[in-house]
Amino acid sequence: MFGYRVPAPDEAMLISGGKRGLEGAPFRVVTGHGKFVMPVFRKTRFLTLSMCEAEVSETCVTKQGIALTVRAVIAFKVGNDRESIVNAGQRFLSDQDQMSILTGRIFSGHLRSIIGSMTVEEIVTERQKLAVEVLDTSKAEMGKIGLTVDSLQIQSIDDGDTGYIDAMSAPHKAAIQRQAQIAQAQATQASSEAQQVAARNQAEYARQTSIVQAQYSAEVDRAQAEAAQAGPLAQAHAQQEVLAAQTELAERAALLRQQQLVAEIVKPAEAEAERIRVLAVAEAERMKIQAEAAASYDRVALDRMLIDQLPQIVKEASVGLQGANVNVLNGADGLGEIAAGLVGQGLTILDSVRKNLGTPDGNAKGAEIQRYLGGQRSGEGKDNGPIDVQ
């Protein structure tokens, strides 16, 4: 539309003519929206609100009197508030490139002032502290001209040919070099160890491969040998089985022959021996029975004979007393005792004969008794010696 103007997002539209701006500003400020501007009676200008950059390269003298060349970059812009826009518009609207030049000069002055109060070691090791102090000291001055600083970066610090910074960094360089050498040595050692491990692994792999190949060759040779020996081994095995069968057949024939011999010779001989033994036992038993019967018959006959001859024995014993000098004591009682003694002797003789008949020589003793009795009857063995009867 004719007469309607709209500023860009990073611009501030300044309208001069007609009404004055806030707080007596010679123009009105419009940002973020459009506005109708009467042609001919009003004049419109635009002030950039975008980020600007200023570079500083300044030779500064430190607290120690050492000259340092410091290079820095400042990022700044016009403030967003209406007051900053008014201040910046009044100063830089006709030549906005002057903002970078003026900002560089302002920071160069503050940079020389702050570096002059610091040592080289502080400047080198505490660059951020240097940047913060420069920003703090320039903030108020920059605000007066409507500019705000977003950042200050110290790009480089150079001492020229003095070599102070190099000398200051020499221990650190030596330590770094030493660490680098140690790291290099460790890396070399690690590389050597890795190579040794790889060589050992290769050797182990080669050894395992050789072992596997040797085992495979041995298995192949063994299989070939077994295949070559399969025919002779099978023939030998068959012969062995034939010999085993023949041996078993011979053993069975020998066992059969042994059984035949036992049946033909040993069994008949054992049967004949058993028959003879049974006959001998029977004969011995028969003779024992006959002997026992004969002995029993002889005892019975002898007992009967002794009983029959007992009176005669007593009589003969009394006849033996004839003509003997007998001293009889106690009168008639003494004679009774003599008669009783004779009878007792006869009974004792009878009992002794019976006992002796139970022994193997009983028959002989029985014959002796018979001869004795016969002798007594014929008058043999008479003894006319004195008999003393108590």
Tell me if 52 is assigned to some domain: yes
Distance CA(112)–CA(106), nearest Å, equals: 10
Contact 328/389 with Cβ under 8 angstroms? yes
Domain end among 145, 160, 175: 160
pLDDT at 105 over 70: yes
Quick one: pLDDT at residue 377? Answer: 47
Tell me if 78 is assigned to some domain: yes
Distance CA(141)–CA(238), nearest Å, equals: 122
Residue 123 belongs to domain with CATH number: 3.30.479.30
Percent residues over pLDDT 90 in the chain: 11
Distance CA(286)–CA(284), nearest Å, equals: 5
Query: What backbone phi and psi angles, to 5 degrees, belong to 25?
Result: -70, 145
Tell me if 43 is assigned to some domain: yes
pLDDT digits over 271-328, tens only? 888 888 888 888 888 888 878 877 777 666 666 666 676 666 656 655 555 555 545 4
pLDDT at 383 over 50: no
Q: What average pLDDT is seen over the chain? A: 78
Residue with tokens 């295949």: 227
Q: How many other CB atoms are there within 10 angstroms of residue 342's CB atom?
A: 17
> Mean pLDDT over residues 198-212, rounded?
91
Tell me if 246 is assigned to some domain: no
Whether residue 153 sits in one domain with residue 301:
no
Percent residues over pLDDT 70 in the chain: 74
Distance CA(39)–CA(4), nearest Å, equals: 9
Parent domain of 12: 4-160
Tell me if 35 is assigned to some domain: yes
The pair of three-digit structure tokens given for residue 322, joined into one six-digit string: 């004839």
Distance CA(149)–CA(137), nearest Å, equals: 12
Contact 78/12 with Cβ under 8 angstroms? yes
Tell me if 154 is assigned to some domain: yes
pLDDT digits over 112-126, tens only? 989 888 888 888 888
Tell me if 306 is assigned to some domain: yes
Domain end among 143, 160, 177: 160
Distance CA(133)–CA(279), nearest Å, equals: 153
Helix, strand, or coil (residue 89): helix
pTM value > 0.75: no
Q: What's the structural domain count of the chain? A: 2
Domain end among 106, 134, 160: 160
Tell me if 49 is assigned to some domain: yes
Q: Which residue has the higher pLDDT, 210 or 358?
A: 210
> Mean pLDDT over residues 147-176, rounded?
84
> Mean pLDDT over residues 43-60, rounded?
89
> Kind of pairing, strands 326-327 and 387-388?
parallel
The pair of three-digit structure tokens given for residue 377, joined into one six-digit string: 């009857």
> C-alpha distances in angstroms, 122 versus 129, 132, 155?
9, 13, 16
Which amino acid appears at position 101 of this protein? I
Residue with tokens 């102070």: 164
Contact 112/62 with Cβ under 8 angstroms? no
